[in-house]
Amino acid sequence: MLTMQYRIVLPTDYPMEIIERRIAERGHLTDGLSGLAFKAYLYAIKGEPGAAANAYAPFYLWRTAEGMRDFLSGPGFAALSESFGRPIVNGGVAWFGEWKGEAEAARHAVIERLSLAAAESLAARRAAEEDWGRTRLQDANTLAAASAFDPSTWLLTRIVLLREAPDNLALGCEHYRVGRVSLGAE
């Protein structure tokens, strides 16, 4: 599995209702998408805890590289690029990615990014990330969890999709609202 996210930072006075409407009107277009595990339509509103700026920042968990390739070269991403400019797309190789049957009920997401130390055993870290994900999914508020690393930067990205806003937000974590979750084709 692979992860992918792009983050479009919007002006402070940008009416975020436009993003909410865009998600409501177009979000269904990724339902059942080939190669997709899930897409979380994330957005942040400046001033809310964990939100440094207004942003639209969808997160994808892909089952296949072909699905990701086809999406990036397809009409949906072309329309996004036409509206906001072509964003930088960050990706990673997933060490963990699971979701519950009610993942579509997620309304909040927390993303954490950690540097992987050069001396760290990647095999041990992979096992630790699987444990992290399974532990997170035991929490009734957690509907999905994914962990992935980017071998070009050795950055680890973790995401959890939640029913309710987190009680505590760890320092450096990003908090997003979830406008919709699309599940891909099996």
CA distance 86 to 52: 21
CA distance 105 to 180: 8
Domain count, the chain: 1
> Mean pLDDT in the chain?
95
CA distance 69 to 96: 21
pLDDT of the residue at 170: 83
* pLDDT, tens digit (0-9, with 9 covering 90-100), for 9-28: 999 999 999 999 999 999 99
* pLDDT, tens digit (0-9, with 9 covering 90-100), for 89-112: 999 999 999 999 999 999 999 999
> What CATH number does the domain containing 45 carry?
3.30.70.100
* pLDDT, tens digit (0-9, with 9 covering 90-100), for 114-129: 999 999 999 999 999 9
Res. 185: pLDDT tops 90: no
Please state, for a pLDDT cut of 90, what percent of the chain lies above it.
92
For 154, the domain range is: 2-183
pLDDT of the residue at 119: 95
pLDDT of the residue at 122: 97
pLDDT of the residue at 49: 86
Band of pLDDT at residue 186, cut at 50, 70 and 90 = confident
Q: Which residues contact 27 (CB under 8 A, 6 or more apart)?
A: 41, 179, 180, 182
